[in-house]
Amino acid sequence: MYKDYNTNQLSLEVNLAYDIPSNHEARMISLFVDSIPSQVLLEETSHTGRPAFHPAMLMKMTLFAYARQVFSGRKIVQMNSEVIPMKWLSQDTYVSYKTINNFRSSKHANNLIKTAFIYFTLLMRENGMIEDDALFIDGTKLEADANLYSFTWKRAIDKYEAALNGKISQLYDQLIQEGVNLALSKEERETSQGLEELLEKTEATLVEIEQAIEEEPKVIKGGSANRQKRRRIKKIRKQLKDDFLPRKQRYEEARKILEDRNSFSKTDHDATFMRMKEDHMQNGQLKPGYNVQAATNGQYVLDFDIFPNPTDTRTLKPFLQSIQTLDLFNYIVADAGYGSEENYRFIIDELEKIPLIPYTMYQKELTKKYQTSTDNPMNWEYLEDTDQFIKPDGVVYSFKNYSSRTDKYGFQRDFKIYEADKVQDTPELEQLAKTDSGNQKQIHYNPTWNYFKELLKQTLHSEEGSRIYAKRKIDVEPVFGRLKSVFGVRRVHVRGKQAVSTEIGFIFMSMNLTKLAKNLASKTSTIQKPHSISFSLIGFKTGITVWFYLEASFCPASLFRFISKKGYNICRILEIIFLFYGRHGIRTHARCYTPTAFPTRPLKPLE
């Protein structure tokens, strides 16, 4: 007998309300969004026209869709008409895909998701879910929604613009020779405004020449000089108008887009070409992408940001400056890719935090080979009174002068220069004190950098520091693994820094709320899962069957004990069953066995 099922017959059983389980992730999303104050959720809207959808509803719909790995606006609308939790979040309200897409790409949504991370961090703090007051930072690269071959390189612009400036100088000299009244410096004429002024002066000169030609007789012996001059200046004007000026404007626009980057994509101007880990062609191909930085604790993302820099070293300082809840943490934990003198100085001196960030040579300096190397100045004898280094071979290096270096980003490093003395104890040492080119050998010693290195070694080797740093790999790394493997986000779906930042923020927040809902559900659930019981019964029945077969083959119990010591618990169970039935002489086979057929020894308890 079956229950009645007929889709063509009208039924009076109509659900007037949608209900979902109390531990469902949709409820967690709804509770979290409702906890955000209204003054943060709402923005100034027009008092006329149709009322806008509430941002809380759109935010809930977006977070739940991202939690189910749905990123398309049309598919979110489809979820709203088919999925009951989505209907519950939207109160069964129809929302167009244009409305959802406009909300996701708006400035208000970008500010809203950034503020949401502040409230989430405070929520975690109040419930005691932040451990060790540590902020774990790492980054990953995501491909941009841009054409793979739409690159523009800064080096190419420098090369072609330099060639263009040379041609502009030649053209300027030609105009001077033609009698055009010009007074532009080299810097002025190498700009688009200078070229526009050149073009105006050239056209004004052509007008004067046209007037002079009209006043000339029609036939001039030897030809008209004004007509020849007009022909030459028209050629220059065409070159200026159709070639030089458009190229100069294009180069200047590209430089504005580049800013301090080395490349950008014509499809997505905010994307930078960088090497990705997913290199299927194995040729180191550069792809347009973004460097996503995340700060986590307990595998929850507490803040994030995106950068155009391929390397992580230059992203740490601006990222820490953007974290508004940084005062809640005492430790900044990251891998060796973030270790630099500038970052250490910023964290220790300005933020007054404790960095747990090893530098690049940290692991190598712990090796015996490095610590015993005679080429390493740190292993040389240092005379503090005379400020000298003595190399193990006997060469003496004395302090010479102070020096400073400023990198292309404006950071200054101070050095002490030590030079090998020209007069050594022996002629052999004097020869060792010189380079192959005949100059005196030098070493550059950075006191500040060495101070930070020693401080980091002490911190990382301490009990508290080593314990916290050991958690880095299991805290921040799984977040990116879940982002790429579970949520399938290896490439963003929108273009522009603001839109990409908003999308990444919604994805990270949906990951947080999904994880939080599952953790709370697992803590409150005390009922054993049915499938685990069934697997236990299957394993027990299989063990009994194997025992019956081995008993008939006269297999000794010592075999099971040997295998059980290797880690196979089922064999230990078989050993106990084997001894128990052998002791009591129970018939389990077509053949009959007496107790004397088995070794008589007491049953040992489980170890």
143-153: pLDDT as tens digits: 999 999 999 99
Closest CA to 270 of 289, 252, 283, 287: 289
Region 272-297 average pLDDT: 88
Backbone dihedral angles phi then psi of residue 77, each to the nearest 5 degrees: -65, -40
Higher pLDDT, 162 or 581: 162
pLDDT at 120 over 80: yes
- How much of the chain exceeds pLDDT 70, in percent? 82
3-state secondary structure 422-488: CCCCCHHHHHHCECCCCCECEEEECHHHHHHHHHHHHHHHCHHHHHHHCCHHHHCHHHHHHHHHHCC
Q: Quick one: pLDDT at residue 11?
A: 58
Backbone dihedral angles phi then psi of residue 448, each to the nearest 5 degrees: -65, -45
Q: Are 165 and 251 in contact (CB under 8 A)?
A: no
Question: Please, what is the end-to-end C-alpha distance for the chain in angstroms?
Answer: 54
- Rounded Cα distance between 288 and 290, Å, is 7
Q: Quick one: pLDDT at residue 66?
A: 96
- The pair of structure tokens assigned to 310 is 């391929």
Q: Quick one: pLDDT at residue 540?
A: 43
pLDDT band (50, 70, 90) for residue 44: confident
Q: Please, which residues have CB within 8 angstroms of residue 116's CB and are 6 or more apart in sequence?
A: 32, 33, 36, 59, 505, 509
Q: Are 306 and 501 in contact (CB under 8 A)?
A: yes
pLDDT at 447 over 60: yes
Q: Quick one: pLDDT at residue 19?
A: 77
Q: What angle do CA 184, 187, 191 make, to 5 degrees?
A: 90
- Rounded Cα distance between 311 and 473, Å, is 19
Q: Quick one: pLDDT at residue 367?
A: 93
- Rounded Cα distance between 321 and 336, Å, is 20
- Rounded Cα distance between 554 and 552, Å, is 6
Closest CA to 116 of 475, 502, 529, 481: 502
Query: Across all residues in the chain, what is the average pLDDT?
Result: 84
Q: Quick one: pLDDT at residue 594?
A: 34
Closest CA to 414 of 377, 451, 364: 451
For residue range 59-84, list pLDDT tens digits in order. Answer: 999 999 999 999 999 999 999 999 99
pLDDT at 9 over 80: no
Length of the chain: 607
- Rounded Cα distance between 550 and 544, Å, is 10
Q: Quick one: pLDDT at residue 118?
A: 95
Backbone dihedral angles phi then psi of residue 246, each to the nearest 5 degrees: -60, -40
- Rounded Cα distance between 534 and 528, Å, is 11
Q: Quick one: pLDDT at residue 467?
A: 94
Least confident span in 89-93, 137-141, 347-351: 89-93
Q: What angle do CA 501, 507, 510 make, to 5 degrees?
A: 140
pLDDT at 577 over 90: no
Q: Which helix (H) or strand (E) holds 414?
A: strand 412-420
For residue range 386-409, list pLDDT tens digits in order. Answer: 999 999 999 999 999 999 999 988
Q: Quick one: pLDDT at residue 568?
A: 46
Q: What sign has the CA pseudo-torsion 426, 429, 435, 441? A: negative
Closest CA to 365 of 381, 382, 377: 377
Q: Quick one: pLDDT at residue 528?
A: 45
Least confident span in 173-182, 325-334, 561-570: 561-570
Closest CA to 178 of 241, 237, 223: 237
pLDDT at 49 over 80: no
Say whether 217 sits in a helix, a strand or coil: coil
Q: What sign has the CA pseudo-torsion 544, 545, 548, 554? A: negative
- The pair of structure tokens assigned to 303 is 């803040």
Q: Quick one: pLDDT at residue 556?
A: 53
Burial class (CB in 10 A: 0-12, 13-18, 19+), 334: buried
pLDDT at 593 over 60: no
Strand 331-333 relative to strand 354-356, pairing: parallel
Higher pLDDT, 5 or 131: 131
pLDDT at 216 over 70: yes
Per the DSSP assignment, residues forming a β-bridge with 332 are 135, 355
Closest CA to 79 of 35, 217, 286, 89: 89
- The pair of structure tokens assigned to 538 is 């299957």
pLDDT at 465 over 50: yes
DSSP, res 491:
B
Closest CA to 601 of 576, 579, 577: 579
Q: Quick one: pLDDT at residue 598?
A: 32
pLDDT at 53 over 80: yes
Higher pLDDT, 261 or 3: 261
- Rounded Cα distance between 205 and 182, Å, is 11
Q: In the block, which residue shows the tokens 């088919």? A: 82
SS percent in the chain: helix, strand, coil, step 5 = 50, 15, 35
Q: Are 58 and 113 in contact (CB under 8 A)?
A: no
Region 319-332 average pLDDT: 95
pLDDT at 325 over 80: yes
pLDDT at 364 over 60: yes
Burial class (CB in 10 A: 0-12, 13-18, 19+), 184: middle
Q: Quick one: pLDDT at residue 455?
A: 95
The alpha-helical segments, DSSP class H, found in 347-392 are 362-365, 368-371
Q: Quick one: pLDDT at residue 224?
A: 77
Cα 306 versus chain centre, distance: 7
Cα 38 versus chain centre, distance: 32
Q: Quick one: pLDDT at residue 546?
A: 44
